[in-house]
Amino acid sequence: MKAYSLDLRQKIIDVYEQERISQRQLAKRFGVALSFIVKLLKQYRTTGEISPKPFNGGVKLKLNSANLIVLSDLIEQNDDATLDELCQMLEEKTGVSISRATMGRMTQRLKLTVKKRRDPASPHSRASRQAG
């Protein structure tokens, strides 16, 4: 999400100082979240600054480049493994534990697909339904 402009921030500070209205009323008047008003006023009181804080870059990846190479090899060698199975194999090889959802995101990032082969004898498989 993009930071609010300095112009808007300054208007909020000016109105707050001139009219001494509540933070809720400020949020309603300017169409912003109350939490934004609270944080802006706190920042202004403690530092005198109203500019947005710099973006820190988000959450760091749990897997480093070496781990991603290991994962890529695991997927190529076990292309019919489930995401849960890949999580277990990766933990055994690298000692890094990741969730099933993270594994799904990592396979997308590597542009690799994990496809389960259907057992032809399975009641859900096409071959089984056509034979019966």
Q: Give domain status of residue 118, yes or no.
A: no
Least confident of 12-16, 25-29, 113-117: 113-117
pLDDT at position 129 is 47
**Does residue 43 sit in the same domain as residue 77?**
no
pTM flag (> 0.75): no
Helices (H), the chain: 6-19, 23-30, 34-47, 65-77, 83-94, 100-109, 126-131
The count of domains in the chain is 2
- Block residue for tokens 């090899």: 73
Between helix 23-30 and helix 34-47 the angle, nearest 10°, is 120
Q: Give domain status of residue 120, yes or no.
A: no
Contact 46, 90 (CB under 8 A): no
Angle at 115 between CA 113 and CA 116, to 5 degrees: 160
**Does residue 41 sit in the same domain as residue 69?**
no
pLDDT, greater one: 43 or 58: 43
Q: What is the mean pLDDT of the chain?
A: 84
Q: For residue range 81-120, list pLDDT tens digits in order.
A: 899 999 999 999 999 999 999 998 888 888 877 665 555 5
Q: Give domain status of residue 116, yes or no.
A: no
Domain region containing 81: 65-109
